[in-house]
Amino acid sequence: MTETAVEIPGYVAGTWTIDPVHSEVSFVVRHMMVSKVRGRFDKFEGTIVTAEDPLQSRVDATVDLSSVNTGEPNRDNHIRSADFFEVESHPTLTFHSTGVRPDGDNFLLDGDLTIRGTTRPVTLKLEVNGFGPDAYGGTRAGFSATTEINRTDWGVSYNGPIPGGGVAVSEKVTITLEVEGVLNKGE
């Protein structure tokens, strides 16, 4: 079987630093079985390496879990507690990619996600948004990615029952990434 080369318009190979000012790590979880709560992490960092062969590219990222922000300080403090992230013992979430696969016009990004000391494989649906110059003489790249996880797979199992049946927080969490990378100088 012959593999077809992956072509991405304007593709630039290199090492990119994630720009946290122009990027977002967010999540959505169903609450009380009737609504969705949205949140984000305000502090994160990472490196993207776009290889000459795009399918050899890789990503490493770290999220500061204490920076969780749902717009409600009491809820954020509860999420930081041992009931959820236990940030005193496990201050970060990490992602290390293990492979990239084509998926129609987009890609699947496989990797290892570590939360609360537990590492499990995940697959993100990845869209390459483009490459281009910035206003400072540098080069930028944009990526969007999403995945859905079951938080209990990482030991985030707290849940409170609600009257009439059901639970306060769903096990499914949708994670969405909007990432802008800055090409490292000298590349």
Give pLDDT tens digits for 33-78.
556 788 999 999 999 999 999 999 999 999 999 999 999 898 899 8
Residue 3 belongs to some domain of the structure = no
Q: Is residue 91 assigned to a domain? A: yes
Q: What is the pLDDT of residues 117-168, one digit of tens each?
A: 999 999 999 999 999 999 989 999 999 999 999 877 777 665 655 445 444 5
What pLDDT is recorded for position 147?
Answer: 97
Angle at 21 between CA 20 and CA 27, to 5 degrees: 60
Q: Judge if pTM exceeds 0.85.
A: yes
Count of beta carbons in the 10 Å neighbourhood of residue 129:
13
**With the C-alpha atoms ordered 59, 156, 76, 167, is the resulting torsion angle positive or negative?**
positive
Output the pLDDT for position 98.
98
Please report whether residue 23 resides in a domain.
yes
Instruction: Say if residue 183's pLDDT is above 70.
Output: yes
Which residues, in sequence order, are CB contacts of 23 under 8 Å at separation 6+?
44, 177, 178, 179, 180
* Residue 7 placed within a domain: no
Please tell me whether residue 126 adopts helix, strand or coil conformation.
strand
Q: Domain holding 20: CATH number?
A: 2.40.128.110
Q: What is the domain range of residue 145?
A: 14-183
Residue 150 is assigned to a structural domain of this protein: yes
From the list 105, 144, 113, 110, the residue with the least C-alpha distance to 124 is 110
What total number of domains does the chain contain?
Answer: 1
Residue 9's pLDDT is what?
A: 85
Interatomic CA distance for residues 113 and 101, integer angstroms: 18
Helix residue spans in the chain (DSSP H): 73-80
CB distance 41 to 68 below 8 Å: yes
pLDDT digits (tens, 9 = 90+) for 81-130: 888 899 999 999 999 999 999 999 899 999 999 999 999 999 999 999 99
Flag whether 6 is in a domain.
no
Going by C-alpha positions, the residue among 129, 133, 150 that lies closest to residue 23 is: 129
Tell me, yes or no, whether 106 lies in a domain. yes
Residue 97 has a CB neighbour count (10 Å cut-off) of 19
**Is residue 113 a part of any domain in this protein?**
yes
